[in-house]
């Protein structure tokens, strides 16, 4: 990614759907020259809670997949297991929320699979690298990754800082894509109900 131009990074950032939604994001600036581990090595620097959350989501998906082939007999069992998985997700969400450090907390303006835009009181220099923690309360999940500032635009009383994901696990990027689409579906349903 270091060899990409700012225009290339902006195009890559814009490839993904972004949803305007407020989620807590921790932004810990690590400097422009900081080593950003490639996605394969990201888990070695990732807080343990984020590592096990990803593994638990993968195990859950694998465990429910074989039940789909059992047909109607498995419906009750699948419902039961989904409820158990939801309880585990809620507990994991609580554990992940403990990783939310107030001194690094920002609120997102929008997010998606390519990056996140946060509202900040002060500008952040272009090219700055940060450890990012995104907390998806609605999904009972959180993501740890590295981002790079590719835009800093002044708004009325704040700055909108756009971070492109420099290093993110594939399953976490997929989680952000699913979460953004899920939130969009909820927003569309809510608008449809308000029009009635």
Name the pLDDT band for 58 (thresholds 50, 70, 90): low
Retrieve residue 43's tokens.
């888990």
C-alpha atoms less than 13 angstroms from C-alpha of 52 in its C-beta half-sphere: 10
What is the pLDDT averaged over residues 33-53? 89
Q: Where are any strands of DSSP class E within the chain? A: 18-20, 24-29, 105-112, 115-120, 129-136, 141-154, 159-167
**Cα dihedral 71, 141, 180, 157 in deg (nearest 10):** 170
pLDDT at 55: 75
pLDDT at 64: 65
What is the pLDDT averaged over residues 38-60? 84
Retrieve residue 23's tokens.
């989620």
pLDDT at 30: 94
* Average pLDDT value over all residues in the chain: 87
- State pLDDT tens for residues 66-124: 766 776 667 777 778 778 877 887 888 888 888 999 999 999 999 999 999 999 999 99
Q: CA-CA distance, 53 to 181, in Å (whole number)?
A: 21
pLDDT at residue 160 is higher than 70: yes
Per the DSSP assignment, residues forming a β-bridge with 136 are: 141
Domain boundaries, the chain: 8-195
What are the angstrom distances between the C-alpha of 44 and each of 50, 58, 114, 140, 169? 11, 18, 22, 23, 12
pLDDT at residue 38 is higher than 80: yes
Retrieve residue 99's tokens.
């990783």
- Do 37 and 112 contact (CB within 8 A), yes or no? no
pLDDT at residue 42 is higher than 90: yes
Q: CA-CA distance, 24 to 118, in Å (whole number)?
A: 9
Phi, psi at 84, each rounded to 5°: -65, -40
Angle between helices 48-64 and 75-97 (to 10 degrees): 170
pLDDT at residue 137 is higher than 90: no
- Do 111 and 180 contact (CB within 8 A), yes or no? yes
pLDDT at residue 34 is higher than 70: yes
Q: Higher pLDDT residue, 28 or 49?
A: 28
pLDDT at residue 164 is higher than 80: yes
pLDDT at 33: 79
pLDDT at 111: 95
Topology, domain 8-195: Thrombin, subunit H (2.40.10)
Q: Higher pLDDT residue, 190 or 9?
A: 9
């Amino acid at each position: 990614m270091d060899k990409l131009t700012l225009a290339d990074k902006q195009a890559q950032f814009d490839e993904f759907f972004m949803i305007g939604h407020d989620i807590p994001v921790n932004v810990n600036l690590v400097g422009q020259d900081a080593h950003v581990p490639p996605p394969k090595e990201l888990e070695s620097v990732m807080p343990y809670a984020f590592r096990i959350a990803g593994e638990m989501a993968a195990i859950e998906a694998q465990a429910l997949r074989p039940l789909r082939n059992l047909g109607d007999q498995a419906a009750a069992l699948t419902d039961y297991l989904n409820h158990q998985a939801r309880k585990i997700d809620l507990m994991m969400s609580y554990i992940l929320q403990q990783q939310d450090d107030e001194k690094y907390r920002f609120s997102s303006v929008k997010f998606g699979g390519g990056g996140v835009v946060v509202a900040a009181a002060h500008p952040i220099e272009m090219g700055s690298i940060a450890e990012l923690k995104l907390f998806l309360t609605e999904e009972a999940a959180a993501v740890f990754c590295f981002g790079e500032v590719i835009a800093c635009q002044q708004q009325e009383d704040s700055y909108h800082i756009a971070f492109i994901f420099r290093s993110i696990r594939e399953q976490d990027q997929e989680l952000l894509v699913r979460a953004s689409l899920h939130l969009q579906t909820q927003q569309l349903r809510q608008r449809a109900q308000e029009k009635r």
